[in-house]
Chain A
Amino acid sequence: MIVAERKPIEEIVNMIRDFNKVLILGCGTCVAVCMAGGEKEVQVLAAQLRMIFSKEGKDIELIEDTIQRQCDKEYIEPIADKIRSVDAVLSMACGVGVQFTAEVVPEKIVFPALNTKFYGATIEEGVWSERCAGCGNCILDKTGGICPIARCSKRLLNGPCGGSNNGKCEISPEIDCAWQLIYDRLKALGQLEKLEEIIPAKNWQTSLSGGPRKVVREDLRK
């Protein structure tokens, strides 16, 4: 899923303080699962903002709603009138949802309430961790199913650097060394010979380095 985290409240307050009527719009998919921007988080944020604005003596009307996905027209269009009825939208979706809501209803300004972090998984309750960098050219078949692009701090493709220490990355004891994980996994799979292959410099054209990306499936176009 796309993992996100709510912005500090002061930053959010400053974005919307000059508007009279604001829609706080949650997203019911990724950011709901990672508990950053779903229905519950919309309620919490709205309550917090109401308290702050009432203390400041500011009269800002806050409307709450959550749709299934802000990256899908199908879900945004039914609430288009509601969006048009407010002065601004505070989107609790990832960066995709923030932009796409404004694309579907361009008359309104949409602010981000979250910082979009990464593509990751829930490791345990309250802990999410990055797994994929969306480089556009998957090499997991070569690296024991563990991604060195997303999980090695230097995105090394040919083994661990000199800073791998007791299974941890040189930049933090909180971060696992991806190449230690790859080594352990390949060893367990009986595929250590894969480490001998020199992987050439990666073609980054499929990543963001190649410019903004688009997937077109002619077979699905109408």
Chain B
Amino acid sequence: MKTNSRLEKILEKGEFAVTSECGPPRGADPDVIRKKGELLKGVVDAVNVTDNQTSVVRMSSWASCLILKDMGFDPIVQMVCRDRNRIAIQSDILGAAALGINNILCLSGDHQKFGDHPSAKNVFDMDSIQLIWTVKRMRDEGLFISGEEIKGRPNLFIGAAANPFADPFDIRALRLAKKVAAGVEFIQTQCIYNLERFEKWMEMVKDMGLHEKVHILAGVTPFKSIGMAKYMKNFVPGMDVPDALIDRLKGVPKEKRANEGIKIAIETIQRLKEIKGIHGVHIMAIEWEEKVPEIVEAAGLLPRPEV
């Protein structure tokens, strides 16, 4: 065991992990985080806190993590390369670790074009793979990128994202291999709707032996409505929503569609559990956190194991 992460303990024990996500508010009210936290209590092993997701300004990830930590959660601080150079990144890594945050998710970040400040200057001093490498080196070798020594190493469990649905498809498993080589220890995937393509990607991952080197948590997001499904299909970069799922939602009366969305998510989790190399699920119920307990329970993942 490298860190104090609860998620690492769960995964090292060979338990099927459950993580979820909490999007911080567009304001300074800590109760928004606390309310979302209440909904997730006892049903997840760790909670991701997004970092200005879709490039919209929100309460900072590490600050929101601290609020959740005070509630007893094991938060995962998300960190994007869009807004920070290597000086700020390393500083925030030290700060997060000092505050008792045990997990980090290393991301490149959405382009600011999608957010509320499209005229901002982006940074992208580094990319996600270089960020993984940086955290690992800081933790295991006690060195900054510059090669200088760190006094008090940041003890973080290192995660990253993977999107099996982006192009070019052939490069997707290779990109995971690079993340593994850089030192990633857990992966949370993009929301999975196209299970066939996901399984094809997992075959490539297994052929490269990567499933034995990194814990892969499969991403699941329930549809609230047909509108949301269509939006995800057409406007969210790197999302693959098969028409069959949209047709399935269309096939039930309007008032039952949210329920159908939950059912699809539960069925998806059940199928994902059967795939060798999948060590957990990451449930991203966007502004619908209250449904996470229901999904986790119906998927047969309660109670969460003690570690």
* 4 A-B pairs with least C-beta separation: A162-B163, A163-B237, A170-B237, A162-B238
Residue numbers in A under 8 Å from B178 (CB-CB)? 158-159, 196, 198
Residue numbers in A under 8 Å from B163 (CB-CB)? 162
**A residues contacting the other copy or chain, number (CB 8 A):** 31
**Interface segment, one of A34-42, A54-62, A106-114, A148-156:** A148-156
- Interface membership of chain A positions 148-185, coded 1 if the CB is closer than 8 angstroms to chain B and 0 otherwise: 00000111111111111111001110000101100110
Given A165-B237, A201-B86, the answer on whether A180 and B108 have CB atoms closer than 8 Å is no
Which residue in chain A gives the minimum CB-CB distance to B182? Answer: A198
26 contacts across the A-B interface (CB closer than 8 A): A153-B111, A154-B122, A158-B128, A159-B129, A159-B171, A160-B166, A161-B166, A162-B166, A162-B237, A162-B238, A163-B238, A164-B167, A165-B237, A170-B110, A170-B111, A170-B238, A172-B113, A183-B168, A183-B171, A198-B178, A198-B181, A201-B86, A201-B126, A201-B134, A202-B125, A204-B125
Residue positions of B touching A, CB distance < 8 A: 81-82, 86, 108-111, 113-114, 122, 124-130, 133-134, 145, 161-163, 165-168, 170-171, 174-175, 177-178, 181-182, 190, 237-238
Q: Is A200 an interface residue (CB 8 A)?
A: yes
Residue numbers in A under 8 Å from B145 (CB-CB)? 201
| Further 13 A-B residue pairs, CB within 8 A, beyond A154-B109, A160-B175, A170-B110 | A154-B122, A157-B130, A158-B130, A159-B178, A162-B162, A162-B165, A163-B110, A164-B166, A164-B238, A165-B166, A195-B171, A199-B130, A201-B134
Inter-subunit contact A160/B181 (CB<8 Å): no
Nearest Cβ on chain B to A182's Cβ, whole angstroms: 10
Residue numbers in A under 8 Å from B166 (CB-CB)? 160-165
A220–B246 Cα gap in the complex (Å)?
Answer: 68
Question: A158, A165, A171, A172: which contacts B167 (Cβ < 8 A)?
Answer: A165
The listed residue with most A CB atoms (<10 A of its CB), out of B145, B163, B190, is: B163
Given A158-B178, A195-B174, A198-B178, the answer on whether A180 and B167 have CB atoms closer than 8 Å is yes
Residue numbers in A under 8 Å from B122 (CB-CB)? 154
Residue positions of A touching B, CB distance < 8 A: 153-167, 170-172, 177, 179-180, 183-184, 195-196, 198-202, 204
Residue numbers in A under 8 Å from B113 (CB-CB)? 153, 171-172
Inter-subunit contact A160/B167 (CB<8 Å): yes
Residue numbers in B under 8 Å from A171 (CB-CB)? 111, 113-114
A160–B108 Cα gap in the complex (Å)?
Answer: 10
Given A165-B167, A165-B238, the answer on whether A156 and B127 have CB atoms closer than 8 Å is yes
Inter-subunit contact A154/B124 (CB<8 Å): yes
Inter-subunit contact B82/A160 (CB<8 Å): no
Question: A154, A157, A201: which contacts B82 (Cβ < 8 A)?
Answer: A154
Which residue in chain A gives the minimum CB-CB distance to B81? Answer: A154
Inter-subunit contact B167/A167 (CB<8 Å): yes
Nearest Cβ on chain B to A128's Cβ, whole angstroms: 21
Inter-subunit contact B177/A154 (CB<8 Å): no
Residue numbers in A under 8 Å from B128 (CB-CB)? 158, 161
The listed residue with most B CB atoms (<10 A of its CB), out of A155, A161, A165, A171, is: A161
Inter-subunit contact A200/B108 (CB<8 Å): no
Inter-subunit contact B167/A177 (CB<8 Å): yes
Residue numbers in A under 8 Å from B170 (CB-CB)? 183
Nearest Cβ on chain B to A213's Cβ, whole angstroms: 18
Which residue in chain B gives the minimum CB-CB distance to A170? Answer: B237
Which residue in chain B gives the minimum CB-CB distance to A168? Answer: B167
A161–B178 Cα gap in the complex (Å)?
Answer: 13
